Amino acid sequence: MIIRTLTRGQAQEAMQNWINNYPNLPVIDSDFEQLRADLHAINDTVRKERNNNPEYEKSYYYLDYRFGVLLYDYLNKQKGFSLRVAANDGFWRFLSVIVVPDIVAQRWGKDNESHFWSQPTRNWLRSLWWFVHLSWQGDLETTNQLLSCPHFTTDTILNFEERTGRKGTYVEAYRNIIKCYASVPKSMLKPRGKNSDDLFRVVMKLNTAKMLVLDPALYLGGEEAYAKSLFRDAGVDLDAT
């Protein structure tokens, strides 16, 4: 896999060119034709899954997490792709604006710059890859099962992505936080009604504050105990459920 990037200025210009020529896709080198075809196939698969399941037919979260899981699996198998590449915002700008802008547009509209290039944490492809990476539970099946948790929503992705850093030593803490959130009993979320994501938002805010003064790996009991302590501080004792 050849790695290409775009600067912010290049991405802005390329996106405007694409909008002007819509619905035609940007011309790409032959090296990227297979990448485009493969990502289209992933998108088609996920949308067919959703359309064939009444439970998820109107779920944007299903589209996001399933596309993210398959994107994560696909890119990680490509020669040349690495964690360093994933941390390069220019790579995601190139993918979003040049390779598959139609897929991003299908989800967010063709003129939503923040989800294409202007805001890294809102770049749709980037946010989905990192959401899966920071939720990883050791293998694809287990991770997919975790992310299919019924009380996860698009706000879960937003809160997780926008309130995490990129410090490798803390990755396991993030993975334990999302695992703990998936284990919260429905009975504890039901009283919150439509604001069930408030719990996760509070937990992530607590995490941001604690990480300024504490390395989760040094917490007594390790990252799992650290994650549970965040929920306990937010009013949910997972050891008592």
What tens digit of pLDDT does each residue of 154-182 get?
Answer: 999 998 887 765 445 589 999 999 999 99
Q: Kind and range of the H or E element at 158? A: helix 154-162
Alpha-carbon gap, residue 61 to 8, rounded angstroms: 28
How do residues 227-237 score in pLDDT, each as one tens digit?
999 999 999 99
Alpha-carbon gap, residue 126 to 19, rounded angstroms: 21
pLDDT at 197: 66
CB 184 within 8 Å of CB 199:
yes
From residue 46, alpha-carbon distances to 15, 86, 148, 159, 228 in Å are 25, 22, 13, 23, 33
Structure tokens belonging to residue 159: 């809160």
How do residues 30-81 score in pLDDT, each as one tens digit?
999 999 999 999 999 999 999 999 888 789 999 999 999 999 999 999 999 9
Structure tokens belonging to residue 63: 């589209």
How do residues 76-116 score in pLDDT, each as one tens digit?
999 999 999 999 999 999 999 999 999 999 999 999 999 99
DSSP state of 219: S
Domain boundaries, the chain: 1-148, 150-241
What contacts 67, CB < 8 A, 6 or more positions away?
Answer: 42, 43, 46, 128
pLDDT at 193: 58
pTM surpassing 0.85? Answer: yes
Residue 194 pLDDT greater than 70, yes or no: no
